[in-house]
Structure 1
Amino acid sequence: MLTRRTFTSMATASAALVAAPALRAQAKLEKTKVSIAVGGKAAFYYLPLTITEQLGYFKAEGLDVEISDFAGGSRALQAVVGGSADVCSGAFEHTINLQAKNQFFQSFVLQGRAPQIAVGVSTKNMPAYQSIADLRGKKIGVSAPGSSTNMVANLVLSRGGLKASDVSYVGVGVAAGALTALRSGQIDAISNTDPVMTMLEQKGDVKIISDTRTLKGTQDVFGGPMPAACLYAPMDFVGKHPNTCQALANAIVRALKWLQTAGPGDIIKTVPEAYLLGDRALYLASFDKVRESISTDGIVPEAGPKTALTAITSFDTSVKAERIDLSKIYTNDFARRAKERFKA
C-alpha cells in the first residue's frame, strides 16, 4: 500500500535523481574562474596557450580563464608566487628553481618539448665575433632577467668559460621591443624565442651561436630532451583542484592535437594580428622552424626532468642536485587522461 509518507519519500528520491546530474556538473570543477600568468604570450613558446584561448577550448571545459601577460617568465612566476594568479604558463625549469628555495610547484601539462630559444650576436655591434669569450663585458638581451631565455644564455656562457656576472643582462621582452633593442645597438647579443629570432636572422641582424628551436638542436645543447613551456601551479593548488587542473590539461591537449594538423592559413586566422609583428611570411617561416618543438600530447618525457636539473646545476651553484626531488616537480596524470580522451 502506498502511504503518503512513502510517496513523499519516493518523490523526493526521484527529484534527487533528476537533480543529480546537474549537481554533479556544477560540483565538477572546484574552481571555474582561473587566472593564468604568462610571460610573453606572443611568442611561439606559448602558442598552445593562445590557440586554446582563441578556439574556446577553456570555455568548452567550463572554465572562465583570465590570462595576464607579463614581460617575461620570471615576472609571471612572481604573480603566482605572490598569489595574484593561480597558474603559471611558464618554463618547466622554474619548478626546479622554486624547489631549491623550498617552494613546491608542479607542472601538470606540457606545451613545448624544446625550449625554442636561440642565442645570437649582433652583426652590427660584434661583426668580428669569434667565440663566447668575446661576450665578456657585453650586454645581452633576454625576455626578462631570470626567465628561461636568461637560463639558456647562462648555459651557453658557462660552456664557453664565462659566468653570468661577466655580462650585463637587459630585459627586452619577446616582441617588437626585442627587435628594436638589437637593431638600434642597445644590446650586443640576444637570447630569445621565435618569431623574434627568425626575423633577426633572416634580415641578417644576428649570427646564431646556439639554437634550441629544433629537437636536434636541443639535444646538442642540453644532451637530452628538455621540457619547455608548461602549466604549473603550487602543489597545494593542484592537490585541492584536481578537476580544475584536469580541465586545464584537457583544453591544452586539445589545442596540441589541433596544432598537429593545422596549416599556415589556420595559424594566421587564429592568432591575434599583433603577434605577426607586421610580417606574415616571416611569422610562418618561424612557425615552420619551431613546429616540431611543440608537444604532441602534453606529457613530460621521462628523461626530461633530469636533463633540466643537469642544465641548471651546471651554472647555478645555489641549486644542489641531491636536494631536488624530481618526482614532485611534475605529474603526467592529467595529461595522460587528456591524451586518452582526445586521442592525441
Structure 2
Amino acid sequence: MSKCLIGLPLGGRFPKDIKDYLEAHKIEVIENPYGRKLSEEELMSLIKDCDATLAAAEPYTKKVLEVAKKLKIIARMGVGYDNVDLKAATERGIYVTWTPIPELAYAMAEHTMALILTFVKRIPYMNQEVRKGIWEPEKWGALIEDLYHLTLGLLGVGRIGGEVAKRAKAFGMSIIYYDIVRRKDLEDSLGIKYVSFNDLLSLSDILSIHTPLTPETKGMINEEAINKMKRNAIIINTARGAIIDEKALAKALMENRIAGACLDVLSEEPPTETHVFYKLGDRLQNLILTPHIGYGQHTGRAMGLTAAEDVVRVLRGERPKYLLNIEVIK
C-alpha cells in the first residue's frame, strides 16, 4: 500500500475527511504527530518510507529529499512554494504541485481587506478603550480614515492581488500597482493603473504585498523603500514575511516613519525570541499581527482535497493537474 504524509495536523483548517479521501483510494496516511510545523529532522524521519506528501510549510530541502527514496509527489497545499527545493525535486523526478484554486484567492483577498479595515478604522484600539469604560468618539473621529478617498498600491497582481483589486474597487478606492507582468485586463476592467516601483511606494496610502518570495523580492521592502513612503502610509503583508526587511520595518514603526503595518506572515514562523516581533506585548501599537491564517476551514478543505486529488493521480501513474516543475516530465 502507498503511503502519504500529511504535513499539517488535521482537524483545524484541514478537516479529517482529507484523510478519509486518501484512505478510500487505498493510501495509508501518516499524520503529523507533533501538532505543529515539522522541523527538517522530524520531516526526514516521517517521510523516508512515503510515496507522497501533502505539504504545508515544512522544509522540503535537498537533505530531506535525499532520504525520501520512494517519494513521487510533493503536493503543496497553498500557492507559496519557497519551502520546497524545486531543483532538487526535479532532479530526483519528484512532481511538485500546488493549489492555485479560486477559493484561496477569494479568502486571501478577504483577509487582506479585513486587515486594511481593521487598521484604518482603528477597531482593535477603540474596542480596548470602550471595554475600559472610555467613550471618546471625537478623539477617534480624528484618527480613523475612510477607504473611498485612499490610494491602494498593490505589489504584485496575480490571482490574489487581482481579487484584492476587485474588492478595493467596490470600496471606491483608487488602485495602482507594480508587477513584472502588466495586467492590461484589470487595467481595462477595473481602471487600475500601472506605475513604477518607486511611484508605488511614494503614492500609496496603503501598500499591500502579493508577490511571491524569490531571490529578487527577498528584502524588497527595505529601509530605502520604506523611506520613500508617505508618513501616513500603511503596509499590509499577506504574502511572505521575508519580502520585508523586518528590522527596518520595526525601526520605521518605532520612529513613526509610517503610520503602521498589518502582517499575516513573518520571516520566521512561529517567531522565536531572536525575532524582532517576538512577544511584543504592549509595544508597537501601530502593528497588527495574525498567525499566517488568511483562510478558513472551507478553503482549507478545498485546498487539501485539490492536493489529495493530485496525489491520487500520480500514484495511479497519471500526470498531476497542478504541476509546478514542468521540467520533470520533459
- Shorter-chain TM range is 0.3 to 0.5
| Larger RCO, structures 1/2 (Cα 8 Å, 6+ apart) | 1
Q: Which structure has the greater CA radius of gyration?
A: 1
Q: What is the TM-score when the length of structure 2 is the normalising length?
A: 0.33
Q: Which has the higher helix share?
A: 1
Give the TM-score, by structure 1 length: 0.32
